[in-house]
Amino acid sequence: MIDTHCHVDLFPDPVGVARLLEREVEACVAVTMLPSHFEMAQRHLTAFRRTTPALGLHPLRSREGHREIQRFKNLARSAEFIGEIGIDGSPQGRPTLEAQKDNFAEVVASIQRGAFVTVHSRGAWRETLEGLKVARVGPVCFHYFIGGAEAAKTVLADGHYLSINHRMVASESRHRAMVAALPRDRVLPETDGPFLGAAPIRQLESVYRFLGQAWNLDSLETRELIRQNFARCRTTNTTLPSQST
């Protein structure tokens, strides 16, 4: 199984979680909130092959993030995994929306070709999509996307992917129908741990089970399809000078 969005560094025992993931998953994208956290995660995760730190600048940490923009740009030159970055337009993020957009425009422009990128777009999927379009960066993965079926279509039309967690496919969730109807070649699993729970393996299993049923595939086929999606979800466009007009 693959976890495309997990805050390993926010668990009470990050190294213990990394050890568990090393045994149980194929790959885990260990997202971070700030470049300084990414550097710390790199030091702690060097021994782990399956859990890879991702370079982040979280929209709800925009003030600190702004001070670390240059650090982000330097680290982005060699970072294969980017996240969590994005824009938050929820009541929590609205007061800093303009600062977030500025940060996002700067960090997105520094992403290299071939990177896996997981983005936050709560209450601001249009702004996030627009920011990517302006910088010509894609495809990326929109994490925990709950903007609705129509919005999902718009995001998918730009070539992007969506990552799905166990809460979105829980029996009482109103997002189940949207998830089940997504094109199977654009879906990735995530736990968003520890925010949505502290049992990453069980959380992933329930996402894989739901997707397998929705797609009418057995567990081996489901895993293979997800593996292919993950391998393909890499930025092909970037703001290379040759592309700018």
Which spans of this chain sit near Zn ion (rule: CB under 5 A)?
84
Which residue, 54 or 76, is less far from Zn ion as judged by CB? 54
CA distance 140 to 160: 5
| Minimum gap (Å) between residue 83 Cβ and Zn ion | 8
Close Cβ partners of 93 (under 8 Å, ≥ 6 residues apart): 59, 60, 87, 100, 122, 123, 124
CA distances from 118 to 61, 84, 157, 162, 216 (A): 16, 6, 17, 9, 27
| Minimum gap (Å) between residue 209 Cβ and Zn ion | 22
| Minimum gap (Å) between residue 12 Cβ and Zn ion | 17
| Minimum gap (Å) between residue 221 Cβ and Zn ion | 28
CA distance 146 to 175: 7
| Minimum gap (Å) between residue 156 Cβ and Zn ion | 21
Which residue, 68 or 84, is less far from Zn ion as judged by CB? 84
CA distance 241 to 238: 9
CA distance 89 to 32: 20
> Does residue 202 contact residue 188 with C-beta atoms inside 8 Å?
no
Residue number with the smallest Cβ distance to Zn ion: 84
Strand arrangement of the beta sheet that strand 27-30 belongs to = 2-6, 27-30, 51-53
Which residue, 7 or 186, is less far from Zn ion as judged by CB? 7
- Report residue 244 as tokens: 């700018």
| Minimum gap (Å) between residue 31 Cβ and Zn ion | 6
Which residue, 86 or 139, is less far from Zn ion as judged by CB? 86
Which residue, 9 or 84, is less far from Zn ion as judged by CB? 84
Which residue, 8 or 169, is less far from Zn ion as judged by CB? 8
